Copies of this chain bind each other. A is one copy, B any other.
């Protein structure tokens, strides 16, 4: 029913939304490159071509801008092509997820930089990062447990599953950190080699 479709925003309202998106995109890049402490509102405003005051009109504070960036990052990284994928297949897709990062280096840089900075409980992204780790580990553990339950993988104790998903997460984060420092790092090859060996071992155990 076309009558129910909301009209596309236009005029000043549309401009406001676009401006907001531009600011979030610039902030994502600047925080990813320099961290929250090192990335200044001034630098972000300059990249968008607005004044310091205009930027704060949209977000109120640097902390609120960071939260908007993290929500945007969360939204984008959910679209990784892993929805509906289960069991060991979830792990087999991880090299593909890494190759997706290559198209969006800023997102990976943002996560690694935030994860390193935000271990400090006073950091505004501290709770977000902790929650993100917990959620990722829970998701990975669910898929590995499912693989063990269906016989796709051999039986693994809950403690072993916890260790295994922490190792997988470490490889993904650690290879991202290497790649930030040395863009010649072949992150897809590294993750593929690691995952192939690990799945072979899970099936064999």
Chain A residues near B (Cβ < 8 Å): 33-39, 109, 112-113, 115-120, 129-130, 133, 160, 163-164, 166-167, 169-175, 177-178, 180-182, 185-186, 189-190, 193-194, 197-198, 201
Hey, which chain B residues are within 8 Å of A167, CB to CB? Answer: 171, 175, 190, 193-194
Query: CB distance B180 to A166 under 8 Å?
Result: no
Of the residues B130, B172, B178, contact of A181 by C-beta under 8 Å = B130
Q: How far is the CB of A6 from chain B (nearest CB, A)?
A: 40
Query: CB distance B178 to A170 under 8 Å?
Result: yes
Hey, which chain B residues are within 8 Å of A190, CB to CB? Answer: 163, 166-167, 170
Given the interface pairs A115-B181, A117-B113, A180-B116, the reply to whether A35 lies near B37 with Cβ below 8 Å is: yes
